[in-house]
Amino acid sequence: MTRKCWLLALGLLIALLHTGCLPPGRLGSEPPDHERELWLVDGFDFPVGDRNGRGWAVTGYDFLDWSSYSNSYHPGEDWNIPGAGNGDQGEPVYAVAHGEVVFSGWNTALGNVILIKHAITPTDFVWSQYAHLAERYVDRGERVYRRQPIGTVGRGPNNTFAAHLHFELRKADLPANAWPRTNGVPWSRSKVADFWLHPSAFINLNRPQ
């Protein structure tokens, strides 16, 4: 190849590098270190109140309580300010850890719902779900950070419930409207525990270092 051809090829390569038009993978398929660190969790906080959940409590159905409303074992926790009634409506709801929003929308049974995928390691994940929200501040595909406000406490579809946050932590990639029943038949407690985590127990074991 002549000197002129070499110079032209070099110039073209430099232009491609500056414009970002090289084919995928030519500059490495892994995201930068700082992006990987933001994607991986650095611990879990509580979804309401302060980082420790102080000022709030599970005042409704707890994890694996039998729910007479849904005729099934409850797969999450119902958080509320004790004695507040509907006084906590509109209070902020926070992402419990770094993650990516995989669903943000309306569900006829749960109202406004946000579902976030969290990477514990590059290959191990859990999913947090926040339901009965009055407002949603994030959309599908957004990356969120621990303690980022993502919505507000609401009362579910058509104000069906007293104001509270229905909060779940899941071991499996389930749809936002997943509930532990099949054709109206409730799952056993042990089967629910195969797919859902005890939220408070998991968070307490995985606080930020």
* Same domain flag for 84 and 26: no
* Same domain flag for 97 and 142: yes
Structure token digits, residue 99: 């993650």
- What's the number of domains the chain is made of? 2
* Same domain flag for 7 and 44: no
* Same domain flag for 23 and 124: no
Residue among 128, 133, 138 nearest 164 (CA): 133
Can you give the pTM of this predicted structure? 0.82
pLDDT in tens, the chain (209 residues): 444 444 444 444 444 334 333 333 322 333 444 444 558 999 999 999 999 999 999 999 999 999 999 999 999 999 999 999 999 999 999 999 999 999 999 999 999 999 999 999 999 999 999 999 999 999 999 999 999 999 999 999 999 999 999 999 999 999 999 999 999 999 999 999 999 999 999 999 999 98
* Same domain flag for 16 and 63: no
* Same domain flag for 54 and 82: yes
Q: Read off the CATH number of the domain in which 89 is found.
A: 2.70.70.10
The pLDDT value recorded for residue 11 is 46
State how far the alpha carbon of 11 is from the alpha carbons of 19, 22, 28, in Å.
12, 14, 21
* Same domain flag for 106 and 16: no
CB 117 within 8 A of CB 127: yes
* Same domain flag for 118 and 172: yes
* Same domain flag for 105 and 144: yes
| DSSP bridge pairs for 144 | 99
* Same domain flag for 145 and 167: yes
**Contacts for 59 with CB less than 8 Å, ≥ 6 apart:** 78, 79, 80, 82, 164
Q: Per this entry, what is the length of the chain? A: 209
Q: How far apart (Å, rounded) are the C-alpha atoms in residues 190 and 64?
A: 9
Residue ranges making up the domain that contains 99: 37-205
* Same domain flag for 87 and 137: yes
* Same domain flag for 11 and 110: no
